[in-house]
Structure 1
Amino acid sequence: MAVPTWPAITPGEAAAVLARYPAAGEMRALLWHSPRPFSAATLIETRGGGLLLKRHDRRVRDVAGVAEEHRFVAHLAAAGAPVPALLRTADGTSAVAIGPWTYELQRQASGDDLYRDRPSWTPFLTLDHAHAAGRALARLHRAAQGFDAPPRRVQPLVASLTVLAAADPMAALDAYVAARPALAAWLAGRPWRRRLASLFATLGQGLAPIVARQARLWTHNDWHPSNLLWSADGGVQTVLDFGLSDRSCAAHDLATAIERSAIAWLELGQGRDEAIGDPVAAQALVAGYESVAPADRALVATAVRLLPLVHVEFALSEIDYFAGVVGDRAAAALAWETYLFGHAEWFLSPSGQTFLEHCAAGRRG
C-alpha cells in the first residue's frame, strides 16, 4: 500500500461535476475513496442512488481518450454484458474536462465488492471465483464481437498488442518507443534494445505468427478479482474498469487474466519465488473460459505462449506514465526492472516453467 498519487475528490469538486450531468441528482455525501494509484475515484450518495465519479489527469486521459473506452462499454452494454451504466451530459458526452482534469460518471454497479480491500493483481479467494471469472471473460469476449473500432490513440496506461504480434518485434518496439517521448527519454542511455531483444529471443521465439492467427478483438486487458463485482452465488455480477482496454485478441486477454490473478507477484523476491504461482487457480480460470467457449483450444494454447511476455507493453506504458506524467523516476525504474524483467524472468525459473506446463496440460472443473 502507498500514499495515493492523486488527491482525493472533494465534495465541492464532485458537486461541480454532477451539475454537468442532468440525470445525476442531488448529492448527499461522498461515501468512499478508491485507493487505486492511477486515478482518483469516489462513491457518491445521491437522492437518485449511488454514483461512481472518476477523475483523471488530462495527460493520462483526455475526453477523447475516455470516449474510446466508453464506446466499447456502450457496445458491451448493448450486447447484454454486465457493465456499469454511463451517465451523459446535456450535450450527450460521457466525459467532461474541468481545469487539468477529465471526469467520468457512472451508476453504482450491482454486486458485492469482495476484493475492495485487497491489492490489485492478487489471487482469487477461491477456485470457484477463478472458474466464474473465466466464464465471465468468455462471455465478455462474445459480447465484444462486432466492435470494430481501431486501436486506441497513443496515451499512457493502455495494455496494447503491437510488439508481440509484429513480424519484426524490435522494429515494432522502436516505433512504440518513438511515439512516446517521455519513455524514449527515460530509456536513453540504457541498453534497452539489447535487453529486450534478448528477452524476446528467449521467451518470444515463434510467437508472432501464432498471435497473428488470432482474430483481433477489443478486450478488457485488466482482468483481475478487484475489477469484478460478485453475486451471492459466487458468480460475476458486474465487470468494472475498462481503462486499459484496447484492440488486441482474446488470447491476450486470457493470458492477462491468468498473469494478474494466478501468480502472487507481490511476493516475488521475498524468498519463496518457487511458490508464488498457483497453476490450479490458472486451470480453474481456463476451465471456466472453456465451459463457455469449449472449442477453442488454439486460443488457450496461444494464451499460454503469451503468458511470459503479455505484460511487456503495459510495463512500458507504466514507465511512460511514471516518467512523463508523475515524474517519478524510481517508480519507472521499478516498472522496468521488477515488473517488466522480473516477471518475465520468473517464467524462465523451474517454478515458472512448471507453471506454464500445468497451464498447457489441461483444465480443472
Structure 2
Amino acid sequence: MTSDNSPLLSHGMGLEPVAPSWPALRLDEVVRLLQRYPQVGAVQGLSWHSPRPFSSACTVDTASGPVFVKRLLQAIRSVEELMEEHRFMAHLQQRGLAASEVLHAADGASAIADDGWTYEVHRIGAGVDLYRDATSWTPFLKPQHAAAAGTALAHMHSAARGYDAPARSAQLLVSGFTIFNADDPLTRMQQYIAQRPALADYLAQRPWRDDVQRVLMPFHARLQPLLNGLTPLWTHNDWHASNLLWHTKAPSAAAEVTTILDFGLADRTCAVYDIANAIERNIIEWLALPSHPSSQRQLVHIDQLDAMLDAYEAVTPLSPQEAAALPALLPLAHVEFALSELAYFHGVLGSADNSALAYDTYLLGHAEWFHSDAGQYLLEHLRQRYAHLMNKEP
C-alpha cells in the first residue's frame, strides 16, 4: 500500500489557497471504512486528495477499481441528510441519467456514521475530471464545454420530474429557494434564521433587515409577479464544471458530460433557480472582479452563457414565465447558500473573517454587483435574449 499524501492547502474564499479546515483522510481510516464494503476489495492506496474546503475527500485505489471517499462532520451532514441526496441520485439513475454511483455497505447503508464523522463512498464515474482543481466561480475552458453542460443540465431536469420528495432537512451548506419564493421574504428569512441558532447569533450584530430591504428586496419586487409560473423541481444547485466528468475525443473537439457529481446542494427548488445557479457559478469570475474595476465586462463570459442556454433550450425550451424570471432571479440565486455558509463559518469554524466575508462580499456584495455596469450588462443581455418570449406573456 502507498502512504498518505495529504494536501497542504485547500480552496479558500479567495483566489489564494489556504490551510484546510479539516484533516485529510488517512490510509488506516479508509481501510477501516471500506471493510464495510466487501464489494470494493482490498485497498491499495490513496491516489488523490480533494482541495474542496467543506469536507475531506480522496480517491482510493482498490482491487475492484478506484472509488471516491468523502467525509463530513456530522454537524454538517447526518446519515439521514446524506441519504436525502442519495435517494434523489438513485431516482436520476433509474431514469437513465449518469449520476455518480453511491455504494452501499454490507448492511445496505449508503452513508456511515463513525466517531463524529459521516462518510459516503462513490464508484468513480466514467469520464475525465478536467476541472478537478478548478475553484468555484471560474469559467469553462471553452464555449463547447458550456454547451455540453447546458445539454446535461436539461437532461437532468427532465430526469428529475416525478421526484416529489419534500425539501431537505439539512441546514448547513445547502442551497434552496424558500425565502424569495414567497410574497413576504422578510418573514421567511426571519423563520430561516430562527431555525439556525448560529446564524441568528451572528446576524444579531448586523443590521440584516435594513440590508435585505435595501439590497435584496428590489430584485424580489421584479421576481414576485412571476413566481406562480415556476414549477417545483428537485435540482442540483451546484452546476459547476468541476462537478462534471467529461469525454473529449480531441483537445479541439466538442465535449460531452459523462457523469454528474456532488449533489451536496441538491434540493427542491425549480428549473430556473438551477439555471441561475449555473450562470452564477460558471459565467461570472467573481474572485477576479476586484482586480478589474474598470473592465469587469470581460469577466462576464457571454459567449459561454449563450452556448449553455442554447444547448439547454434545444432539449427543454423555457416557458415565457421562466424566461422572464431568469434575469429577475439571478441576483438572488446565491442568497440561501450564502446564509447557510455564514452559519457554517460562524457556528462550526468560528471564523470571524470568513463570516464577515460571507455576509459583506457574498450575501450582499454579489447582489449589489448586479447594479454595476457589468451586472446590468449581463441582466440586459438576458432580457434581450428572451424579449420575444416575454412579449408572449398574457
- The equivalences for 1:1-365 within 5 A come to 1-233=17-249, 234-272=255-293, 273-294=296-317, 296-362=319-385
CA contact (8 A) 1:283 1:359 kept: no
CA contact (8 A) 2:226 2:321 kept: no
Residue 129 of structure 2: SS of its match in structure 1? coil
- For residues 139-191 of structure 1, what are the alpha-carbon distances to aligned partners after superposition, in whole Å with 9 as ceiling and x for unaligned? 00000011110000142011011111011010001001001000000011211
- Distance in 1 (alpha carbons) for counterparts of 2:34 and 2:193: 38
Residue 379 of structure 2: SS of its match in structure 1? helix
Give how far 1:6 is off: 0.9
Give how far 1:283 is off: 1.4
CA contact (8 A) 1:23 1:87 kept: no
Q: 5+ residue gaps in structure 1?
A: none
CA contact (8 A) 2:222 2:328 kept: no
Give how far 1:274 is off: 4.1
CA contact (8 A) 2:100 2:122 kept: yes
CA contact (8 A) 1:115 1:226 kept: yes
- Distance in 2 (alpha carbons) for counterparts of 1:5 and 1:231: 32
Give how far 1:297 is off: 4.4
CA contact (8 A) 1:161 1:248 kept: yes
- Distance in 2 (alpha carbons) for counterparts of 1:130 and 1:146: 27
CA contact (8 A) 1:278 1:355 kept: no
Deviates further, 230-239 or 170-179 = 230-239
Residue 3 of structure 1: SS of its match in structure 2? coil
**Identical aligned pairs, as a percentage?**
47
- For residues 216-263 of structure 1, what are the alpha-carbon distances to aligned partners after superposition, in whole Å with 9 as ceiling and x for unaligned? 011000001101110124101111000001100000000000111000
Report the aligned-residue RMSD: 1.3
Give how far 1:3 is off: 1.7
Residue 383 of structure 2: SS of its match in structure 1? helix
Deviates further, 211-220 or 249-258 = 211-220
CA contact (8 A) 1:252 1:310 kept: yes
Give how far 1:269 is off: 1.5
Residue 102 of structure 2: SS of its match in structure 1? coil
Amino acid at match of 1:106: H
CA contact (8 A) 2:81 2:170 kept: no
- Distance in 2 (alpha carbons) for counterparts of 1:42 and 1:295: 38
Residue 32 of structure 1: SS of its match in structure 2? strand
CA contact (8 A) 2:338 2:359 kept: yes
TM-score scaled to structure 2, two decimals?
0.90
- Distance in 1 (alpha carbons) for counterparts of 2:284 and 2:127: 25
- For residues 287-331 of structure 1, what are the alpha-carbon distances to aligned partners after superposition, in whole Å with 9 as ceiling and x for unaligned? 111011135343233222111111011100000111111111210
- Distance in 1 (alpha carbons) for counterparts of 2:170 and 2:259: 28
TM-score scaled to structure 1, two decimals?
0.97
CA contact (8 A) 2:229 2:322 kept: no
- Distance in 2 (alpha carbons) for counterparts of 1:168 and 1:295: 26
- Distance in 2 (alpha carbons) for counterparts of 1:223 and 1:333: 25
Residue 268 of structure 1: SS of its match in structure 2? helix
Amino acid at match of 2:382: C
- Distance in 1 (alpha carbons) for counterparts of 2:219 and 2:327: 12
Q: 5+ residue gaps in structure 2?
A: 1-16, 250-254, 387-394
- Distance in 1 (alpha carbons) for counterparts of 2:23 and 2:227: 40
Amino acid at match of 2:272: A
